[in-house]
Structure 1
Amino acid sequence: MTASTEQPRLVVHLIHQLDVGGLENGLINLIKHMPPERYRHAIVCLKDYSDFHAHIKTRGVEIISLNKREGKDFGHYVRMFRALRALQPDVIHTRNLCGIEGQLVAALAGVKLRVHGEHGRDMFDLYGKRLKYQLLRRLLRPLIGHFIAVSADLEHWLIDSVGAEPGRVSQIANGVDSVQFHPRLGPPAAVGPEGFMSDNAFVIGSVGRMVDVKNFPTLVEAFLRLIASPHPAHQRMRLLIVGDGPTRAECLDMLARAGAAHRAWLPGERGDISQLLRAMDLFVLPSLAEGSSNTILEAMASGLPVIATAVGGNTELVHPGFTGILVPPRSPDLMAAAIADYCRIPEMGARHGMRARSQIIATHSLPAMARGYLAVYDALARNGQEPKEPPCAPSPDSST
């Protein structure tokens, strides 16, 4: 009896750009934790890719750039069609609004198994209600074999607003590496430029792309209000925002105009996120919209209490009074008050951070996330475009 020579099925992941970001990091983690004997992977980028692709370079993942121009670029549809015809994938997996048109191109290219994931919304459509985008989603909905949502908020929206059949929607929580991201042992490392850290510094931190939807100026404004107050505990505060993007210059300017540049460090994009998280005492995410934030998960795995805006999947991750505090978006006063509580009551931060890590280990392991996606792909492969039973992610476990 000879061994089977059948190749593992090929999944093509269509994304906007392979660069530093939560969605992209989640894709890399997914590929690393999927069984290679069952599924191969390729990534097609509407734009291009950066050095971030080195994280999967050794896994034989082909990466193709369509080099889509800004605005209307009808030529990229032709390039996408040709790429899919050359790759001949078993499964196409598009993500977010920017990729959903790829469902039509994939159908025309003969790709039978089609999955679409929703990971969050952008500034131009914070609540997923803009008419032209709703019409596009509804028009393409019949082509999609299964939807994946990373949060209950997005799952309900797909069913209630987009009109997806409940049996064709799975919620699969993002996973995090709780070995790489762990609480610090001992005193915090001395990070940042000389004079930034002190023996008793209280470091308020955040990580993310510095774009409008992440709303980092609100965090800077809250920080400036706190250090301007006479309370002695506030003089220990330092601000660390890791990431790059168009609002970084605005935040730096706000700090400079207030004479507070020496008490903040905005280093731009970094590759040592896990170490920098261990230098923080509190994690704050001021977003205007979120799917299921990977940076919140990483902060919680690092044993940090979290202050986040009460938007999207944040409300499913942060439990007020237990693992953190939720505040309304664009509310620097309420954000400042929440930060002040953690600064003045350090034992509260330690207690919430410990609970946060326990929550991550119990419900957000990378193997559990990978098994959820595997169940979707397998069900579509068994049943074609019309699965008789909805694929379900298995119950999360405590494996890491």
Structure 2
Amino acid sequence: MRVIFSNHSTAPVNLGGAERSLLKLVDDWAAKNPDFEPFFFTKAPTGLFTKALDERGWKYRAFRFRGWALPSPQPAPVAERTTFAAADYQAVGAMIDELERLKPDLVVTNTLVAPWAAFAAKTLGLPHAWFVREYGDLDHDLKFQEGRRRTLADIGLLSEAVFTNSLALKNHVASAVDPEKISVVYPSVDAGFVTERAAQAPASTPFPQSSPGLKITVVGRVEPGKGQFRAIDALGLLKADGIDASLCLVGSWKTPGYDLELRDRATALGVADRVTFAGEQANPYPYVEAADVCVTPSTVEAFGRTTLEYLMAGRPVVASNTGGSAELVEPGVTGSLFDPDSPRELADALAVYATTPGLAEAHGHAARASVERVLGSEFSQEAAITRLEGLVGQPAYKLPEISRYWFALPGDYASLGATTARMAAGLLASRLRTRSGLVGRILRRPGVATRRILGR
């Protein structure tokens, strides 16, 4: 059984949750089915994702494309839209050719932002499944070119099955997609791997040596949506309450200067000496191990992979009560939840651990035990693989036959290059002189003099 997987990211700095979840899904599927043969469509140029494919010996092809959910304001200038449309639809054409060559049994899209493999699959009438692992606009501030609801509706139209990574995201997608078509699958994480890596020494000092108080770790890309500023604000409130605590932020930042904004925020609150910016780490787990409690302060998380990893490492989690993390944390047992609009709630939740001896350890033990329940539920990888295999050989939606011609048009227009105006004028003149053009239609009228029409 040959399955094509389409992924949108080159992962130039680190493997994101979507890429890591896809790799684990394919790993598990390959272990389960000896006849399973994966092939990958991914974005060019190559990066850490293709490196991971090379390490596993999996074949892939990289394409240049953009997407239908973008960080830039919409609508973009016409020149920009047409330029990228040409690249996007050239990628669709190349994907169609590749699908015809590979003859897969199923195509799976692992991205909200790039529909091109879905278009290619539906041009040929192949079964297609879609993994939606993010909100897009709510969590990453992306702008949908056709709006959120229309985009989600198209995802449902182009797929025989849709998978989300939490109940919260399923409810979100179900606003535009038939709920019967949607399945929930929690990403699988290797608990043994997390435990083994957590036992290693951290590459740098996680917390100030002079801080005997509560130690707090946040892992994730440093950006406003991930909410590190909320943890800093809570640290300031704890200090005002006379509670000693320190914070370690692990992760890269893609917006230049944002780390300086956070440092200035910590300075203004008088806690700059209690905040460590560890940056991107190949092994973030020792920083989790060094903490008493971990925090997921995001505005909204589709799933909350780091939340699950915190639990695996035996650390209680204080998470925002929005999105998928709220499904993973059991308040009063493995951690607590807070309103992301209330730094006071976050500070109070952390204060409980700081002032209640033994509570962090007790919740940490319960956290580690809860992971098996979460991953062994009806939302398991095994259940997802079973449903995916069930799509093979089933009837699949197919786009109109004209779609292949449409997908080729932007590339044809782009090939005009710098002589576009001249060639367009030549095309117009040709159309006027041919039997199908204006002159041709006039000439075919009864009683029209050819010489007079042509000016001779």
**TM-score interval w.r.t. the shorter chain?**
0.7 to 0.9
Superposition map of 1:85-234 within 5 A: 85-87=97-99, 88=102, 89-100=104-115, 102-108=117-123, 110=124, 112-124=126-138, 132-159=147-174, 161-166=175-180, 168-182=181-195, 192-193=204-205, 196-198=208-210, 200-229=212-241, 231=242, 234=243
Does the C-alpha gap of structure 1 residues 157 and 371 become closer, same or farther in structure 2, counting only changes over 3 Å?
same
RMSD of equivalent CA atoms: 3.2
How far residue 81 of structure 1 moved from its aligned partner, in angstroms, is: 3.1
Q: Which amino acid letter does the alignment assign opposite residue 163 of structure 1? A: V
- Residue 253 of structure 1 corresponds to 264
Confirm or deny: 8 A CA contact 1:285 1:307 kept in the other structure: yes
Match of 2:390 in 1: 379
Q: Which amino acid aligns with 2:396?
A: Q
Per-residue deviation at 1:142?
Answer: 2.4
User: Offset at 1:47?
Assistant: 5.8
Of 252, 265, 282, the residue aligned with 2:276 is 265
* Matched-pair identity in %: 22
Counterparts of 1:190 and 1:132, CA distance in 2? 43
Q: For the structure 1 residues 23 and 197, does the alpha-carbon distance in structure 2 shift closer, same or farther, using more than 3 Å as the test?
A: farther
Counterpart check, 1:243 vs 2:251: yes
**Unpaired segments ≥5 residues, structure 1:** 1-7, 387-400
Counterpart in the other structure of 1:389:
none
2:4 corresponds in structure 1 to 11
The one-letter code sitting in structure 2 at the alignment partner of 1:157 is H
Partner of 2:440: none
Counterparts in 2 of 1:55 and 1:238: CA distance versus 1, 3 Å? farther
Kept after mapping to 1: 8 A contact 2:220/2:250: yes
Cα distance, 1:33 vs. partner?
1.9
Q: Is the 8 A contact 1:190 1:197 kept in 2?
A: no
**Residues in 2 aligned to 1:285 and 1:182: alpha-carbon distance in whole angstroms:** 20
SS at 1:209 equivalent: coil
Are 1:197 and 1:238, in contact at CA under 8 Å, matched by a contact in 2? no
Separation in structure 2 between the aligned mates of residue 249 and residue 384 of structure 1, nearest angstrom: 54
**5+ long unaligned stretches in structure 2:** 73-80, 398-456
Q: Cα distance, 1:316 vs. partner?
A: 0.9
- Residue matched to 1:322: 333
> Do structure 1's residue 338 and structure 2's residue 353 form an aligned pair?
no
Is residue 178–residue 365 contact of structure 1 (8 Å, CA) maintained in 2? no
Deviation sequence 1:23-79 (CA, Å, 0-9, x none): 222112222222262323333334645335434422122344434357641112312
CA distance in structure 1 between the partners assigned to 2:44 and 2:340 by the alignment? 30
Contact 2:2/2:39 (<8 A) preserved = no
Q: Does 1:60 align with 2:60?
A: no
Distance 2:272 2:93 in 1: 49
In the superposition, relative to structure 1, how do residues 359 and 228 fare at CA in structure 2: closer, same or farther (>3 Å)? Answer: same
Superposition deviation, residue 156 in structure 1: 2.7
**Which amino acid counterpart does residue 216 of structure 1 have in structure 2?**
Q
Q: Secondary structure at the match of 1:290?
A: coil
Counterpart CA distance in 1 for 2:198 and 2:43 is 42
Q: How does 1:22-37 map to 2 (within 5 A)?
A: 22-35=17-30, 37=34
> Structure 1 residue aligned with 2:291, among 276, 280, 285?
280
Corresponding residue of 1:395: none
Secondary structure at the aligned position of 2:186 is classed as coil
CA distance in structure 1 between the aligned counterparts of 2:178 and 2:324, rounded to whole angstroms = 19
Q: Distance in 2 between matches of 1:171 and 1:361?
A: 17
1:278-314, Cα deviation, whole Å (9 max, x unpaired): 1111110111111111100000000010001111112
Task: Read off the aligned partner of 2:177 and give its amino acid letter.
Answer: G
Equivalent position of 2:310 in the other structure: 299
TM-score (norm 1): 0.82
More displaced, 307-316 or 218-227? 218-227
Which secondary structure does the structure 1 equivalent of 2:190 belong to?
A: coil
| Distance (whole Å) between structure 2 residues aligned to residue 262 and residue 122 of structure 1 | 35
Contact 2:335 2:363 in 1 (8 A): yes
Question: 2:42 is matched with which residue?
Answer: 45
Supply the distance in 2 between the matched residues of 1:300 and 1:34 (Cα, whole angstroms).
25
Which letter does structure 1 place at the counterpart of 2:151?
L
Whether contact under 8 Å (1:81, 1:106) holds in the other structure is no
Which residues of 2 match residues 357-372 of structure 1 at below 5 A?
357-364=368-375, 369-372=380-383
Bigger mean CA deviation after superposition, 68-77 or 362-371: 362-371
Q: Aligned AA for 1:29?
A: K
- Tell me how far apart the structure 1 counterparts of residues 247 and 20 of structure 2 sit (CA, whole Å): 24
In the TM superposition, residue 328 of structure 1 has moved relative to its aligned partner by 0.7
Structure-2 separation of matches of 1:290 and 1:29: 20
Contact 1:176/1:366, CA 8 A, preserved across alignment: no
Q: One-letter code of the match for 2:48?
A: D
The separation in 2 between residues aligned to 1:174 and 1:276, in whole angstroms, is 22
Distance 1:367 1:27 in 2: 19
Instruction: Give a deviation string over 1:117-163, Cα, whole Å, max 9, x none.
Output: 1212134578999882211322442221101111112223333x113
Aligned partner of residue 147 in structure 2, secondary structure: helix
Q: Equivalent of 2:322, from 296, 300, 311?
A: 311
Length-normalised TM-score, structure 2: 0.72
